[in-house]
Copies of this chain bind each other. A is one copy, B any other.
C-alpha cells in the first residue's frame, strides 16, 4: 500500500494508550495514516483543526467533557469538513452516538475498524444538529450533585445559594428532562457522562 494513497487521520484523544494503539493498528495495515494528534478541543486546537486538512477525524467524546460544554459533533463541523468517527470507550446515551459518521469501539478488531473507517468516508451524515432543551450550566451542576446523592442543603452550602434556589433548579431539571426520580436522574447523569459511577456512593 502506497504512503501517498493513505488517508489522513486526525486523532482527538486524550489517552496516550489509545493514540499509540490506533497508530499501531493503522501502521500494521496501511490505508490510513495518523497525521495529527490533539488531546482536547481547546481554543488553540481549533486553528490546527482548521488548518490540517484531515480526511477523517477520530474523536473520544470524553473531550466534550463533563457538564461544561454543549456536547457534540457540531463543534467539529464548524472547523472541519472531515468525516468524524467516535471512539467508544464509555457508556453514553444512544442518541449521542448517532451524530457521528461511525462509532469505533475499543474492542473492535482491526478488520472491523478499517471497515468502519471506510464506511465513515463514504456514507457521511450531512446535518448534525444539536438538541434543544439543554440544561443550563447551573442546572447541570445541580444535577451532578443530585446524582451524587447530595442533599439539597449540602448543594445549597456548596454553591452558597439558598435551598429554595436549589429546589427551583431541581424543579426545572425535572421539567426539562421529564425525569422525576433521583434514580432516573442518576442514570441520566451517568449516560451523559456528567458523572462517573465512582463519584457516587
Contacts and interface: CB of A to CB of B under 8 A. Distances in A.
A21 interface: yes
A201 B19 CA distance: 32
Interface in A155-201: 177-188, 190-191, 196-198, 200-201
B182 A201 contact: no
Interface string A93-109: 11000000000001111
Nearest to A177: B201
How many interface residues does chain A have, given as a range? 35 or more
Interface stretch (A70-78, A115-123, A129-137, A141-149): A141-149
Given A18-B106, A20-B25, A94 B198 contact: yes
Contacts of A184: 149, 200-201
A142 to B, nearest CB: 13
Interface in A47-105: 62, 89-94
A107 B186 contact: no
Contacts of A23: 20, 24
Contacts of A25: 16-17, 20
A22 interface: yes
10 contacts: A14-B107, A16-B109, A94-B201, A146-B183, A181-B200, A183-B186, A184-B200, A184-B201, A188-B201, A191-B197
